[in-house]
């Protein structure tokens, strides 16, 4: 039987615990002219984990200025990934919709670097 989004595989808590998802504040957003699809380059402050950068295809719903200062959720323990001329250091989380990706943000402020539980 094929697994899909409507029938996800069951995992153990220890599997979830391996994924380090933390809150961080977007410090800077720049155009990414070298991307195959329209994208932003983001620099996010993850507190004790440092400032990490990523490429994100979220331009459909987010002008650059609307992202600066937002607290977002990022996976910070994937290995760095080369995306064209840019090295991505974390995965910005979000939800795909027909209109574009909706970025995972926080409803209330928490200290940067706080791990999702």
Mean pLDDT of the chain: 94
DSSP, residue by residue, 8-47: PPP--HHHHHTS-EEEEEEEEEEE-TT-SS--EEEEEE-G
> What is the rounded average pLDDT of the residues 61-88?
97
Q: Report the DSSP pairing between strands 21-31 and 71-75.
A: antiparallel
- Tens-place pLDDT, residues 33-68: 988 899 999 999 999 999 999 999 999 999 999 999
Q: Which fold has domain 20-103?
A: OB fold (Dihydrolipoamide Acetyltransferase, E2P) (2.40.50)
- In which order are the strands placed within the sheet that holds 21-31? 51-56, 40-45, 21-31, 71-75, 91-92
- pTM of the predicted structure, to 2 decimals: 0.91
Q: Which two tokens stand for residue 2?
A: 């094929």
- Name the pLDDT band for 114 (thresholds 50, 70, 90): very high
The structure tokens listed for 14 are 């220890």
Per-residue model confidence (pLDDT) at position 58: 97
């Amino acid at each position: 039987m094929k697994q899909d989004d409507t029938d996800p595989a069951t995992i153990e808590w220890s599997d979830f615990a391996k994924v380090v998802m933390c809150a961080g504040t977007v410090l800077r957003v720049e155009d990414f002219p070298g991307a195959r699809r329209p994208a932003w380059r983001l620099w996010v402050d993850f507190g004790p984990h440092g400032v990490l950068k990523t490429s994100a295809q979220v331009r459909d719903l987010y002008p650059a200025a609307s992202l600066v200062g937002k607290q977002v959720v990022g996976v910070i323990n994937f290995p760095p990934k080369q995306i064209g001329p840019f090295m991505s250091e974390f995965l910005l989380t979000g939800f795909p919709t027909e209109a574009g990706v909706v970025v995972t943000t926080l409803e209330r402020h928490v200290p940067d670097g706080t791990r999702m539980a």
